[in-house]
Amino acid sequence: MIITIVGGGSTFTAGIVKSIALRKDELDVKEIRMYDINKERQDTIGVLVDWILHEELKTDIKLTLSYDKAEAYKDADFIFAQMRVGGYAMREQDEKIPLRHGCVGQETCGCGGLAYGMRTIFPMIEMIDDAEKYAKKDYWILNYSNPASIVSEACRKLRPNARIINICDMPIAIIDVVAAALEIKDKENIVYDYFGLNHFGWFTSIEYKGEDVMDKLRKYIHEHEILLPAAYLKDKAALQSKKGSEQNRHTKGSWYYVWKGVYEIMENFPEKLPNTYLNYYLQAKEFVEHSDPNRTRANEVVETRESNLFEGIKKYQETGIVDETVFYAGSHGDWIADLAIALKNDTKARFLVITENRGAIPNMPYDAMVEVPAYIGKKGPEVIAQDNIPLFEQGLMMQQLNCEKLLVEAAIEGSYEKALKAFTLNKTVPSMKVAKEVLDDMIEANKGYWPELK
Ligand code: NAD
Ligand code: G6P
Ligand code: MN
């Protein structure tokens, strides 16, 4: 197997490579290739990846750092994608511009997510075309690149036959936190049901070894007034600390509010466990109130995950010592590597994936890209059929779905009016006038990244 990592310079590459290397026999992996458009960034991450493969785990997996598409994709079996178009500098704009107009500013939700989507659609299509041209005929692209919802809709529309599966690590990150809160050590024995769009869904049941644990979880969240494990809560300073292990990155910095928000939502709607991202839609006003428009998550990430990682690599180059806490390893990499194993070895293991609905949720459109459980074998996802979903969730999902579809149509047609409709339809935006102000600022900030809108 040849696995090509697109966005090789990502802060997640080292962790993903570690997960692949730990599964090298099941994946039969001979070569890992990294491909990026930023040579300096990828060359630096490559130093750590080389250490993981050849010093720490002592594998004989070949490592190639490439800046040439033909070389990077040639005969690749798997392409793991995680590009951040525009980098953290543009993420900062996505977060800060809407906040200046009193709207949610977030990486993948609200206007920020729409802006990020507009930047990412065409680079993703280019990547699919490169895979078609150079990779093995039965290649699979497993895509983490955000905003996964908009990306998946654009791929469905523009390249319907592409062998791409879009995925997200948030549901498993939530399950990791649930397991820690309920003191469950063997999280592989947790089975859950879920429906939604990406970053817009609900857990409808969570079982541990066949026993329903939703009630226990509800009690836990109600008593602690947050969904975070008691062990983490004891050390609030560690939660806010800039240094230290990235292993629990979802609990660092402003993520704290997100877990608090789960409690706030469940006090009113206790039946299902919401994906943390629903906070941005259901508590948009409150999010804006506790946000600092001059310091957002992008700033936190640059000052913590990114700087710890690059400083850690520098230290390794100077001293030969690697501090493993500088890079994130765990569920994020395990999930994508396990998905590749299911595809390659036709295991029919159950995963949550973002896939075309095709009747799986009867009262959502046939062509909606939904996030639902599916069995994964060599032919791809076999989606598990569900029942009709209730009015509240269906209404929210339809609004978000149509907003994202309009954004994709706006990008393809170069339509300002459709873009404005997408911004206006988003639940985080209070009026058409505000939508227009944010959109116009976004057009200005995204010059050189967005298609021209007329
Ligand atoms: P990062 O900026 O550290 O890494 C992204 C890399 O992509 C950079 O090295 C950049 O140069 C490269 N890149 C940008 N455009 C490219 C292109 N057209 N072709 C090839 N490479 C390109 O960002 P990060 O924080 O490590 O995140 C990486 C991506 O993974 C982001 O899109 C992020 O949103 C996504 N992500 C998704 C999930 C999920 O649940 N789906 C989870 C974590 C991260
Ligand atoms: C979760 C989501 C990702 C998102 C990430 C942001 O993992 O599933 O889609 O990109 O959080 O995390 P960050 O630490 O960069 O804010
Ligand atoms: Mn995600």
Closest CA to 352 of 154, 196, 178: 196
Q: Which of 16, 88, 170, 242 to mutate to test the pocket of ligand 2 (most atoms within 8 A of CB)?
A: 170
- Dihedral sign, CA of 291, 296, 301, 303? negative
Residue 169 is a catalytic residue: yes
Looking at ligand 2, which atom is closest to the CA of residue 148? 9
Q: What pLDDT, on the 0 to 100 scale, is given for residue 201?
A: 98
Instruction: Answer yes or no: is pLDDT of 239 > 90.
Output: no
What tokens were used for 205? 């049941």
From 208, 220, 277, 281, active-site residue: 277
Q: What is the pLDDT averaged over residues 278-283? A: 98
Name the closest ligand to CA 12: 1
Looking at ligand 2, which atom is closest to the CA of residue 255? 16
From 77, 94, 130, 169, active-site residue: 169
Q: What pLDDT, on the 0 to 100 scale, is given for residue 236?
A: 73
| Residue 185: how many other CB atoms lie within 10 Å | 8
Decide: 326 and 246 in contact? Cβ < 8 Å.
yes
Instruction: Answer yes or no: is pLDDT of 441 > 80.
Output: yes
As a whole number, the mean pLDDT across the chain is 96
CATH class (in words) of the domain with range 171-304: alpha beta
Q: Which of 106, 109, 169 to mutate to test the pocket of ligand 2 (most atoms within 8 A of CB)?
A: 169
Q: By alpha-carbon position, which residue is closest to atom 11 of ligand 2? A: 170
Q: pLDDT tens digits, residue range 333-359?
A: 999 999 999 999 999 999 999 999 999
Looking at ligand 2, which atom is closest to the CA of residue 144? 9
* Cα(61)–Cα(78) distance, integer angstroms: 15
Q: What pLDDT, on the 0 to 100 scale, is given for residue 217?
A: 98
Instruction: Answer yes or no: is pLDDT of 207 > 90.
Output: yes
Name the closest ligand to CA 5: 1
Looking at ligand 2, which atom is closest to the CA of residue 250? 14
* Cα(448)–Cα(384) distance, integer angstroms: 41
Q: Which residues pair with 273 in a beta bridge?
A: 203
Q: What pLDDT, on the 0 to 100 scale, is given for residue 244?
A: 61
Residue found by looking up tokens 């993948």 in the block: 108
Q: Where are the domains of the chain?
A: 171-304
For residue 332, report the distance from its CA to the centre of ligand 3, in Å.
Answer: 10
Between 253 and 419, whose confidence is greater? 419
For residue 287, report the distance from its CA to the centre of ligand 1, in Å.
Answer: 25
Between 162 and 236, whose confidence is greater? 162
The whole-model pTM stands at: 0.98
Q: What is the pLDDT averaged over residues 12-16? A: 97
Q: What pLDDT, on the 0 to 100 scale, is given for residue 2?
A: 98
Q: What pLDDT, on the 0 to 100 scale, is given for residue 246?
A: 60
For residue 320, report the distance from its CA to the centre of ligand 1, in Å.
Answer: 27
Instruction: Answer yes or no: is pLDDT of 245 > 60.
Output: no
For residue 6, report the distance from its CA to the centre of ligand 1, in Å.
Answer: 8
Q: Which residues have C-beta atoms less than 6 Å from ligand 2?
A: 107-108, 146, 168-170, 173, 249, 297, 301
Phi, then psi, of 3 in degrees rounded to 5: -115, 125
For residue 148, report the distance from its CA to the centre of ligand 1, in Å.
Answer: 11
Name the closest ligand to CA 143: 1
Q: Is the CB of 37 under 6 A from ligand 1?
A: yes
Q: Is the CB of 248 under 6 A from ligand 1?
A: no
| Residue 2: how many other CB atoms lie within 10 Å | 21
Q: pLDDT tens digits, residue range 154-196?
A: 999 999 999 999 999 999 999 999 999 999 999 999 999 999 9
Residue 35 is a catalytic residue: no
Q: By alpha-carbon position, which residue is closest to atom 2 of ligand 1? A: 87
* Cα(348)–Cα(351) distance, integer angstroms: 9
* Cα(176)–Cα(25) distance, integer angstroms: 26
Q: Is the CB of 148 under 6 A from ligand 1?
A: yes
For residue 351, report the distance from its CA to the centre of ligand 1, in Å.
Answer: 22
Q: What is the pLDDT averaged over residues 291-313? A: 95
Q: What is the pLDDT averaged over residues 301-320? A: 96
Q: Of all residues in the chain, what percent carry a pLDDT higher than 90?
A: 93
Q: Which of 84, 276, 300, 332 to mutate to test the pocket of ligand 1 (most atoms within 8 A of CB)?
A: 84
Instruction: Answer yes or no: is pLDDT of 240 > 80.
Output: no
Instruction: Answer yes or no: is pLDDT of 232 > 90.
Output: no
